[in-house]
Chains A and B, each alone.
Chain A
C-alpha cells in the first residue's frame, strides 16, 4: 500500500481510497500527523491529539474492513478550539480557559466521531471567536500559508481551520461563524467554507459567543467535501432547543452543477465606496460565470444592508456580555491570585481583567453598556428592530423569485499581520461587511475560491441561499466552482 500525495487528496478521494483499500486510515493519519508536526510556523494547530487520532484511525480501519462505513470513516480532520472535546484542552483561544478540559463532547464532534472521523488536533482561532485576523488569540496569530514576502493573516475567527485546510494539514476542519468567521478566512486562504441556516447544526458544546448568531460549519478544499462534511454535522439535538427538527438531505447527491434557469441576485448595496477594483472585477466575473452556466442574473436591492454592521455590533456584544458572564473564576478555568482581604468582587474583576484579552474586554463592556438601564431601548431594542428589517429585505427578494445572491466574501484579500494594530476597532469590523447580514438573517452562506489578486493571493465569492436550502446553495456553489476552476495552492515554505 502506498500513500498518495496528501496535498492532492480531498475528503471524497480519500474516502474512495480507504474503501478501495489503497491505503488505511492509520497510514493516512500518520501521514497527516507528520505534516502537522512540520507546520509549527503556521501556528494553526494549538493542541495536537496524536493519541486520540491513532486510536480513532485504528477503530476506523476495523469499520472499513467490515464494509459500509460512513463517508467520514477514517478521514483526518482538525477541530476549532471553540468545540468542547472530552479530556482535550478546549479554551476558545482564551487565557481565561487555560487548563480547561471538558468532561463532555460537543454534539458536532460526537457526530463526526460516531461517523468514524479522526481528530488530529485543536485549531487556533480568535479569542472567543471575536476577531477577523486571528490576532486576538492567546496562542498568538495564525500565519496564512499564502505568504507573499511577509506574514499575512489567515483571517478570523476560524483562521487556524482555514490555514490548516489550505496548507493540507488535514482534509477538513470545523469552523464557526457569528459574523463571517468561516467565510472570510476561507476567502483569505483559497478554500471553501459554508455557514448553514441558523438551527441546522447543534450549538451544544460549542463555547458560546452570540447565541442568536453563532452557527458551526465545515471548511474544506472544495464544495463536494463541504457537502459531505456538512451532512455529518447537521441534525436536531435535544440538547439545543434552537436546533431544527428537519430531515438532513444528502447534500452531496444534490450536486448536479446544473443551474440553468436559476435566478441569481446581485445586490447593489454591496458595491461599497472604496472597494478595491480587483474585488469589483472578481464579482463581475462571478456574475458572468453564473450567466454562462445558464442562470438568470438580476440586479436586486437589499436596502438595509448599510445598517447590518452597526446592528451586529450592538447585538453580538450584548449577547457576548451575557454569555461570558460565566467566566468568573469559580467553576472552570483561571482564577486570579488574591491579595490579603480581597473579596469575591475583587476576584471576579481581577480574574476577568487577567483572563480576557483587550478585544474581548471591549466587547463585553460595549455589550454591558447597550444592555444597561436607560440604553436598552435606544441601542439593543433598536438593533433588534433593524435586524427584523434586514431579514425582511432578504425575504422580499426570495419572494420575488431570486434563488441565490452573489456577493464578494470580503472587502480585501488577506492583509499583513500587524497591519491593523493602530487602526480603530471599527476598521477591523469592516471585514465582515458582506458576511454579517447573513448571520443577522439566519441564512446559509458559502464562500468559494474564485480567483487570485495581482499579488497572487486568493479571493472568494459568497453565495447566499434561502433558509434550509443548503442543498440548492451547494449545487449553485458547485457550478461556480467548476466555472472558476480555482486550483492554485500556496507554495510550501513552512
Chain B
C-alpha cells in the first residue's frame, strides 16, 4: 500500500510533529521505502500463531497499592521549561 501526501500529513499530525507542506512529498517517499521493506512480512504464514506479549515467560510482579515515593514537587519541576507556583505551565488550553 502506497502512502500519499495526505496520509503523510495525517501521520505527522497524529505524531504531533510539524512538517512543512513542501517536505511532505519527500516524507511520503521515505515512508513508502520503509513500508515496502516491511511488506515482506506478508509472506509469512502466521495462522494460529499468538502475537508476542512478553519475550521472557514472566509474570509481572505485584505489590501493595500504596504510595512508595513522592512529596518532592521541586525535584519534579526542576527540569520544566516553564513552572509556576508548583505547577507545569502551558499555553492557554481553555478560552
Contact = CB atoms under 8 A, between A and B. Distances in A.
Nearest to A212: B55
A358 B21 CA distance: 16
Given A352-B17, A385-B46, A330 B90 contact: yes
Interface stretch (A32-40, A157-165, A271-279, A360-368): A360-368
A388 B91 contact: no
A388 to B, nearest CB: 5
B4 to A, nearest CB: 13
A76 to B, nearest CB: 28
Interface stretch (A114-122, A136-144, A339-347): A339-347
Contacts of B80: 330-332
A328 interface: yes
A485 interface: no
A270 interface: no
B33 A365 contact: no
A307 B31 contact: no
B33 A424 contact: yes
A244 B56 contact: yes
A479 interface: no
Contacts of B35: 366, 369
Nearest to A303: B44
B38 A372 contact: no
A368 B15 contact: yes
A389 B49 contact: yes
Contacts of A400: none
A198 B55 CA distance: 8
| Interface range, A side | 35 or more
A199 B41 contact: no
A364 B15 contact: yes
B90 A344 contact: yes
Interface of A: 99-103, 197-199, 212, 238, 241-242, 244-245, 304, 306-307, 309-311, 313-314, 321, 325, 328-335, 338, 342-350, 352-353, 356, 361-362, 364-370, 372, 379, 381-389, 391, 424-426, 429, 440-442, 467
27 contacts: A103-B79, A241-B60, A242-B56, A242-B58, A307-B44, A311-B41, A313-B38, A329-B81, A330-B81, A331-B88, A333-B81, A343-B91, A344-B93, A346-B18, A347-B91, A348-B16, A361-B15, A366-B35, A369-B11, A369-B35, A372-B11, A385-B49, A385-B52, A388-B52, A426-B33, A429-B37, A441-B55
Given A383-B41, A442-B55, 12 more contacts: A310-B37, A329-B81, A330-B81, A331-B79, A352-B15, A361-B17, A368-B11, A369-B31, A382-B44, A386-B44, A426-B33, A440-B55
